Amino acid sequence: MSGPEKPDQHELRTLVARAQSGDPRAFENILVLYQHGLLRFCRSMINSSGEAEDVLQEVYLSAWRQLSTLQSPEALSVWLYRIARHRCIDHLRKRTPLPQDFHDEEGNPGPRQVLEPRANASLESSAETRAAIVELRRFVNELPATQRECWVLKEVHDLSYSDISKIVSAPLTTVRGRIARARVTLAERMQPWK
């Protein structure tokens, strides 16, 4: 993932400790570190850029208000993604009758909305590659929500199975299963791009 350089352990501990003591600059520095990933995650959950940006604002405020619940600086990333996930689910709940697939994965496909192709999605050289990415985003969007969030966290955000398991509050085996199933579906749907 790109973005600002990740802080070392001392810098991370310092940032978290200062933010927890009420230093707004330290908190803002934390946001700068994670903002791109969090926005991408909200977009992948919500499938609407404008709404994802509103939710991101709520994520920031929740994070500020819940800072005392962050037990260790090392858990910062998981803690932030958990907050983002909860805010996204709250938002989707309000936007009924959406994501029943958060409850019943074996039901039919998830949200029907098509992920907006990002106007500035890539700098890829070939139109074919660009088209393949647009297709993949669409297929990902059509996965059941629980599979989608796990797959995105693993493949787009490079998080470990263990971190994802903590973020989505599901056992490791469940997370592995969701990602494996998502991969099977996506690999099959991407076959024409061979």
Partner 1 sequence: MEITQVSDLPYSCGRSEDELWSRLSMPPDQHELGCPYCQAQRQRLAPLAKATTQWKIGNDSENEADTALLGSIRGRVMDGIKAEIRRGTRFTLRITTLGTLRISGYVLLETLREVVDSIRGVALRTHKILPGSHPESISMSINLALEAGEDGVRLTNGIRDALRARFAQAIGISLDDIDINLEDVFHDF
Q: Which spans of this chain sit near partner 1 (rule: CB under 8 A)?
A: 1-3, 10, 13-14, 17-18, 20-24, 27-28, 31-32, 35-36, 39-40, 53, 56-57, 60-61, 64, 105-106, 118, 120-124, 129, 132-133, 135-137, 146, 155-156, 158, 171, 173-174, 176-178, 180-181, 183-184, 186-187, 190-194
Output the smallest distance, CB 107 to partner 1, in A: 11
Output the smallest distance, CB 19 to partner 1, in A: 10
**Tally of CA atoms within 13 A in the half-sphere of 75 that contains its CB:** 12
Q: Rounded CA gap, 1 and 99, in Å?
A: 28
Residue type at 91 in one-letter notation: H
Closer Cβ to partner 1, 90 or 193, answer by number: 193
Output the smallest distance, CB 78 to partner 1, in A: 20
- CB contact set of 111 (below 8 Å; sequence gap of 6+): 47, 98, 99, 101, 141, 145
Output the smallest distance, CB 112 to partner 1, in A: 21
Q: Rounded CA gap, 50 and 140, in Å?
A: 19
Pair 183, 140: CB distance under 8 Å: no
